[in-house]
Structure 1
């Protein structure tokens, strides 16, 4: 069954391959860093062999750093274990066309071992396990992710050669909500919007943001797994389309001293039959269940920040007066808090403002669900809403560094109970790898300050 009429069924994909309309099928999964990884398969081979028998890839793909270097410390994959294979298990509900590429379709995958047991450390599996946990309590989850990015006039190749410094942003001033500013790069934005729509995403629109060249394209709220799948596809395709336009764009959390790029995540629960459980229409207010869920997300915020802010650079966003949160608090439509509650009735939802554009959507959504369900199961009380400026409230702070977040995560009983030891240990090692790499690096900041003057 297709997710909407722009996704393809297997029968429709088969017909497209038979007719020559599609000759290439991208088989992809999302890795630890939130990137699509996989293979491009000839359409005929995909139909004749892969649909029935599957395809495999090396398990090192869930045990590498950002540069695809094999690193030590992972229990599931190592030189001692021989770097064996995982199977890419096709999710035939995710088949979509990629109109920016000739005759190309894509199908996303789960990762399973060769005995067909799930790879527990796979981001998609981590989220699906929290979905199963919610289902056991009688709930389904819906979510939306708001990704900001910055567009540059330089190609990716030119940006690399410049050391990613002194690039030319596509706007030279703050274009937040500016129609003129957005028009400057409307050919690129329009291409991304329409390509994403054809790929099965429900596109809302685009708008300018605060930093120079910063923009956002919004998509409709959807099932939590659909949202995560679409998010991963969108990030890859947006970069590919930018390259086709001779430009580059980045989802880095913070590229300079101005505003960072966020990924605000909206989330709500519904009953199994779609009934509203976060809002009491008769009373015109939030339900106790909603309050418990939000209380759980807040209570586990320090424990789960590693999954909201997974990189060294992520923490550069957290600055007072920046619209990026520093305070663990909630407010009614208050953008200074880590959690903002918005909407009424069917639209009642919580917004987590901690994640940046570099977030892995599966991991962040799983963390929010784990925290919220913890709040429901333990009937946590929601503290009063923060009114006014959260930055100066004196409330507890979001972890301020990857090291702090890593230490909270590895020692969290809640994270281990909800996600499992295998997951906590795996992503703790990912943080350790990043911390070691950064600790060994000599930055341009150090060189500028110390080369001559020290």
Structure 2
């Protein structure tokens, strides 16, 4: 059972910042795409913001895409509002120090509205609302994400010189689970494992995947908000570490039509309020699935058309969802079946869980977790029956 770091001793965290040898603190918030947008604050400014007043952050980060192109149909912010500041509140429980910046303090924040209430447009606040709904129903949600991503022998300058076309992969060939490819890139592998652990993002497993220059990492599971924080931080951290080695990681869902895309699978389970009993597991059931779990899966299948944009947020996301390329293409579930949309893993009382296999590596973890947990709760709240039978064999050939 993973231990979530919340709650924390706020006074001790602030004291650690005061004692830091640095006069700066790095802060960040997640935009709609799950991209971290951040800045340095002078330590005094940070301590003032952390007292509860927060700090200003241009609202455009919730009104443009990952390429900084402003939305033309956004009601919350836009040219019609003049792009005022939004108030970001520091979450002291997210305190970390950045190993590759000699230990500079780091914090995540949430957006709040002018009344100090959670801002509806903030992805992290949305996940917190869904988790509060789960808590009210008597559950703690736990999640873990795993990412696949391509690595290229490029820098921003060299890729720009190619007009963003035909990047050079880190290594040729497919070579999933290759120990040789790992050894050839050992310093980068070691930095990911060791520095992310020091950054509070423990990696359960790291290996090469099938595809030129593809890696896959499984992040240790935890309570859902911490899991989403780890996932968002993971992508940024890997890019920052990679730059040190002349490597450009890409979490694009599908960069090449002839190669498999990159996933961002979400593992999830619901536990009792004490965090000791997995409410998905039932040893008396032939598949190890409780009635609660079956309602949850039924909710996922019922809500999938509505929540699909949370799993596949861009046009490129859908190019990954192709038969025969390790991504699901139908609303299906199955037992330890990697061709279905929702994979049941019977891991006993400690590890029985559902894996949502639809999300790509381009996903916003806050939105993906909010969508999958929210849909599962919908199934539980409405006692939806799981009438669809589990798919055996290839889901690509399933008759729907």
Shift of 1:160: 2.0
- Aligned counterpart, 2:224: 224
Change (3 A) 1:288 1:21: same
Q: Whole-Å Cα distance in 1 between the matches of residues 17 and 133 of structure 2? A: 38
| Residues 329, 386 of structure 1: 8 Å contact kept | yes
CA contact (8 A) 1:175 1:182 kept: no
Cα distance in 2, alignment partners of residues 24 and 251 from structure 1: 29
Following superposition, the deviation at residue 79 of structure 1 comes to 2.5
Q: CA deviation at 1:11?
A: 4.5
Match of 2:372 in 1: 368
- In the TM superposition, residue 42 of structure 1 has moved relative to its aligned partner by 2.1
The aligned residue for residue 36 of structure 2 is 36
Deviations 1:54-93 (A, max 9, x none): 2111222101122223332112112323322211111110
How many Å separate the matches in 2 of 1:141 and 1:97?
26
Find the counterpart in structure 2 of residue 308 from structure 1. Answer: 311
Aligned to 1:326: 329
2:268 alignment partner in structure 1: 267
1:203 CA drift (Å): 2.0
CA offset digits 1:138-197 (Å, max 9, x no partner): 111001111111111122221122122222211111121111111221211211221211
CA contact (8 A) 1:24 1:103 kept: no
2:254 counterpart SS class: coil
Counterparts of 1:372 and 1:299, CA distance in 2? 9
Superposed CA offset, 1:239-264 (max 9, x none): 11111211111000011120111111
Match of 1:387 among 366, 371, 392: 392
Secondary structure of 1:269 counterpart: strand
| Distance in 2 between residues matched to 1:8 and 1:47, nearest whole Å | 17
Tell me the secondary structure at the aligned position of residue 91 of structure 1: strand
Task: Single out whichever of 161-170 and 243-252 deviates more from structure 2.
Answer: 161-170
Please state how far the C-alpha of 1:222 moved relative to its aligned partner. 0.7
RMSD: 2.0
> How do residues 25-174 of structure 1 correspond to structure 2 at under 5 angstroms?
25-48=25-48, 50-174=50-174
**Higher mean C-alpha displacement, 306-315 vs 153-162:** 153-162
1:294 pairs with 2:291: no
- Residues 387 and 49 of structure 1, relative CA distance in 2, 3 Å threshold: closer
Alignment partners' CA distance in 1, 2:20 and 2:366: 34
Distance 1:15 1:370, change over 3 A: closer
Query: Structure 1 or 2: larger helix share?
Result: 1
Alpha-carbon distance between aligned partners in 2 of 1:206 and 1:118, rounded to the nearest angstrom: 36
Given that 2:254 and 2:316 are in contact with CA atoms closer than 8 Å, whether structure 1 keeps it comes out as: yes
Give 1:299 shift. Answer: 1.1
Worse-superposed segment, 308-317 or 113-122: 113-122
8 Å CA contact 1:8, 1:95 repeated in 2: no
Asked whether the equivalents of residues 193 and 217 of structure 1 are also in contact (C-alpha less than 8 Å), the reply is no
User: Quick one: structure 1 residues 62 and 327, their matched pair in 2 at CA, closer, same or farther if it must change by over 3 Å?
Assistant: same
SS of 2:240's partner is helix
Q: CA deviation at 1:16?
A: 4.5
For the residues of structure 1 that align with 2:116 and 2:338, how far apart are their CA atoms?
A: 44
Deviates more, 1:156-165 or 1:316-325: 156-165
1:277 counterpart residue number: 279
Q: TM-score, normalised by structure 2?
A: 0.93
Structure 2: runs of 5 or more not aligned: none
- Could you tell me how far apart the structure 1 residues matched to 2:17 and 2:94 are? 17
Aligned partners of 2:27 and 2:226: how far apart in 1? 17
SS at match of 1:94: strand
For the 8 Å contact 1:242–1:249, the answer to whether it is kept is yes
Residue 200 of structure 1: aligned partner: 200
Q: Does 1:340 align with 2:343?
A: yes
- Structure 2 CA distance for aligned equivalents of residues 349 and 202 of structure 1: 19
In structure 1, how many angstroms separate the alpha carbons of the residues matched to 2:297 and 2:92?
34
